């Protein structure tokens, strides 16, 4: 079984289109920076966090697959691995934010939050040298995990010896076990540093889990959408079956429920406490148009996908499941927007043209490099022991 030319032709065509969108959007972003640097950094931060979280979410789901096994992971394994190999690109794309830290974070401006009860904590934790060291550690951890997961997975495909394949599967599982712990810690602190500290007077102990659950939804939705896009080309078509697609839908449903649980738990805790310093974050997001965005997220980031994904008939049809996944993927862009932007515009919903161009620009570059990475390896892991069983069922 070999990769066919139809797959490469499709990826080549869309890769150039994505690259064109990315470069064109990048030029517009440069113009936007010349007009309004502060707005550029705000829009860029929102767009950057979304696409970074997709890559990190791919890393988490890949480790979950190596830990628990399951044929569902064989369908999307190469798609996830290609997503993790974009972390070096995301590290490079973080450079513009280095120059905008004073525009983005109020605590980075001397004297802005002095006299508040958080000032003492700020002097210890929210300091730029320590902030940069922590950011560097997060990327080193993610890059190291992605490197070894991809390297050992590629080595597994170089041999047909069953004993060697099993040994390397165990090694991947061991790495993923410790990696999941490291992932949870680094993403939690990164969410606090890069998102929650936009409003340094407010804090939530569940905020990191909320961001993690959103990452899982976005990454899983992306993987399912791309699976549906490539479902009719070989070799993916040979291993596709309604049962395995249903498993992907079940996992997406679980992540949607986890996101809803974290979002509701955070709101319930703040509402029950009803303390002025805690509810301010929600007050900024409950009027001036932000409330309508919150309602949109409630409907299309949870309620509608939840009831659709309860249906086995929908989850068994890859094209229908792909549309549900695409909806969730787009809604997660709005979720990141709702988490980030009210910190800068608490009184009124504010949409700037850069808020649209920046995600499209970074997304175009991200997708172009992702397709390039996807072409470098086989679309399915050929020496995976579960593959023969999947081909028989498919």
Q: Is residue 114 part of a domain?
A: no
Is residue 378 classed as helix, strand or coil in its secondary structure? coil
> What's the domain count of the chain?
1
Q: Is residue 210 part of a domain?
A: yes
Q: What is the dihedral of CA 206, 209, 215, 217, to 10 degrees?
A: -100
**Distance between CA atoms of 298 and 309, rounded to whole angstroms?**
15
DSSP states of 251-307 as a string? HHHHHHHHHHHHHHHHHHHHHHH--HHHHHHHHHTSSTTHHHHHHHHHIIIIIHHHH
Q: Is residue 113 part of a domain?
A: no
Task: Give pLDDT, residue 166.
Answer: 76
8 Å CB contact between 15 and 372: yes
**Distance between CA atoms of 101 and 97, rounded to whole angstroms?**
6
Omega of the bond leading into 351 within 30 degrees of 0 (cis): no
pLDDT 10s per residue in the chain (394 long)? Answer: 445 677 888 888 899 999 999 999 999 999 999 999 999 999 999 999 999 999 999 999 999 999 988 788 888 999 999 999 999 999 999 999 999 999 999 988 876 555 555 556 666 788 888 999 999 999 999 999 999 999 988 887 776 666 777 777 888 999 999 999 999 999 999 999 999 999 988 889 999 999 999 999 999 999 999 999 988 887 777 777 888 889 999 999 999 999 999 999 999 999 988 888 788 899 999 999 999 999 999 999 999 999 999 998 888 888 999 999 999 999 999 999 999 999 999 999 999 999 999 999 999 999 999 999 998 888 877 666 666 555 555 4
**Distance between CA atoms of 302 and 331, rounded to whole angstroms?**
10
**Distance between CA atoms of 79 and 82, rounded to whole angstroms?**
5
**Distance between CA atoms of 252 and 47, rounded to whole angstroms?**
23
Q: Is residue 154 part of a domain?
A: yes
Is residue 4 classed as helix, strand or coil in its secondary structure? coil
* H helices, E strands: number in the chain: 19, 0
Q: Is residue 373 part of a domain?
A: yes
Q: What single DSSP character describes residue 346?
A: S
Q: Is residue 255 part of a domain?
A: yes
- Chain mean position to CA 80: 11
Residue 357, domain extent:
11-108+124-393
Q: What does each C-alpha distance from 75 to 31, 72, 318, 321, 351 come to in angstroms?
A: 41, 6, 12, 14, 38
8 Å CB contact between 231 and 318: yes
Q: Is residue 4 part of a domain?
A: no
Is residue 205 classed as helix, strand or coil in its secondary structure? coil
Query: Whole-prediction pTM value?
Result: 0.93
Q: 232 Cβ partners below 8 Å, 6+ apart?
A: none
Task: Give pLDDT, residue 121.
Answer: 62
162-194 and 207-229 helices cross at what angle (nearest 10)? 130
Q: Is residue 116 part of a domain?
A: no
């Amino acid at each position: 079984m070999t990769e066919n030319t139809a797959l490469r032709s499709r990826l080549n065509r869309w890769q150039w289109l994505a690259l064109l969108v990315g470069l064109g959007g990048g030029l517009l972003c440069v113009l936007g920076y010349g007009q309004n640097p502060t707005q550029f950094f705000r829009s860029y931060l929102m767009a950057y966090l979304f696409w970074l979280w997709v890559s990190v979410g791919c890393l988490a789901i890949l480790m979950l697959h190596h830990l628990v096994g399951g044929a569902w992971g064989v369908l999307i394994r190469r798609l996830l691995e290609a997503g993790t190999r974009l972390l070096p690109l995301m590290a490079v794309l973080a450079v513009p934010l280095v120059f905008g830290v004073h525009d983005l974070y109020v605590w980075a401006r001397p004297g802005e939050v002095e006299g508040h009860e958080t000032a003492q904590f700020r002097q210890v934790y929210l300091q730029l040298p320590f902030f940069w060291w922590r950011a560097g550690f997060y990327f080193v951890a993610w890059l190291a995990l992605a490197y070894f997961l991809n390297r050992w997975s590629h080595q597994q495909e170089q041999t047909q010896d069953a004993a060697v394949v099993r040994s390397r599967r165990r090694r991947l599982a061991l790495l993923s076990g410790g990696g999941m712990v490291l992932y949870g810690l680094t993403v939690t602190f990164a969410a606090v540093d890069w998102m929650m500290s936009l409003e340094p007077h407010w804090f939530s102990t569940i905020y990191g889990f909320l961001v993690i659950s959103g990452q899982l939804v976005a990454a899983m939705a992306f993987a399912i959408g791309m699976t549906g896009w490539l479902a009719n080309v070989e070799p993916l078509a040979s291993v596709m079956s309604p049962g395995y697609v249903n498993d992907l839908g079940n996992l997406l449903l679980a992540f949607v429920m986890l996101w809803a649980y974290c979002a509701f738990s955070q709101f319930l805790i703040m509402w029950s406490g009803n303390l002025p310093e805690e509810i301010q974050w929600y007050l900024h997001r409950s009027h001036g148009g932000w409330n309508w965005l919150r309602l949109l997220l409630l409907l299309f980031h949870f309620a509608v996908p939840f009831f659709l994904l309860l249906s086995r008939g929908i989850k068994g049809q890859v094209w229908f499941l792909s549309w549900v996944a695409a909806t969730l993927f787009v809604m997660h862009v709005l979720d990141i927007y709702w988490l980030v932007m009210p910190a800068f515009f608490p009184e009124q919903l504010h949409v700037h043209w850069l808020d649209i161009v920046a995600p499209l620009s970074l997304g175009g570059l991200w997708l172009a490099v992702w397709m390039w990475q996807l072409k470098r390896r086989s679309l399915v892991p050929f020496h995976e022991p579960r593959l023969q069983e999947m081909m028989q069922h498919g």
